[in-house]
Amino acid sequence: MTELPIIDGIEKLESVVQQVGFLPFFRCDIVGYSLEERTPPERWFQKGVEGPWEWREQAALRQIIGYGKLVRNKAGFVSAELFPLLANYRRDGYDYDAKYEDGLLKRREKLVMDAVVQNGEMLSADIKKMCGFGKNGEKGFDGILTGLQMQTYLLVRQFVYKKDKASRQYGWGVGQYTTAERVFGEEVVTSRYHQEPKESFAELTGILSSRLDVPQKVLEKLLR
């Protein structure tokens, strides 16, 4: 595989993603093809030092690249250039409402999508409450939220932290979600809808294969 640059900040992360087109957060089948592997060890979990966890938050907020659970139900980054190809393939050419009408989207998935579309962007906790998920309500919220990201309908917009009495942030940030159309623009997201999904997938994996010097079949397995 073509060796990717060392990533030591948000600008470098965005540059690499825009250059390559797609980057998993965590290690995958392709050695060296992840933010985890391209980050210097001293950038991981060091107090007062920004690292991958901070960069993913900045990436989500800046919206130059897209961030969400996009690779095997785990986090990844994608460029505006390649997102339409990924979206057309993963969505099978459907907007979420049309997919629901054809019986290809679950009722609970549509509940979540309707809530986010109506509100523009929502914290995961608010989506869960509004859509009636919980002990005595709808089930499988985390899986549905992940599935909608994998289908490219939702992306992470930002992370929101709890604050103590002194207004200091603490704990892990809670994800706030929005539609991919609000991140990249509807015209960009739907620009490959005229293409057969399998053709979009072949083009997507072909581009990545050329840029990474990795067999296309390996990328097909990773991005299905």
Binned average pLDDT, 10 residues per bin, the chain of 224 residues = 96 98 97 97 84 95 97 98 98 95 95 97 96 90 97 95 69 88 97 97 98 97 96
Domain assignment present for residue 2? The answer is no
SS3 121: strand
Domain assignment present for residue 172? The answer is yes
Domain assignment present for residue 3? The answer is no
The boundaries of the domain holding residue 159 are: 10-223
How many domains does the structure of the chain reveal? 1
Residues 6 or more apart in contact with residue 169 via CB below 8 angstroms: 161, 162, 163
Q: How far is CA 215 from CA 30, 31, 82, in A?
A: 10, 13, 18
The pLDDT of residue 173 is 79
Domain assignment present for residue 183? The answer is yes
User: How many residues make up the chain in this entry?
Assistant: 224
Domain assignment present for residue 205? The answer is yes
Domain assignment present for residue 1? The answer is no
The pLDDT of residue 46 is 77
Domain assignment present for residue 116? The answer is yes
Element (H, E) at 158: strand 154-163
Residue 138 and residue 111 in contact, taking contact as beta carbons nearer than 8 Å: yes
Domain assignment present for residue 4? The answer is no
Q: What is the pTM of this model?
A: 0.95
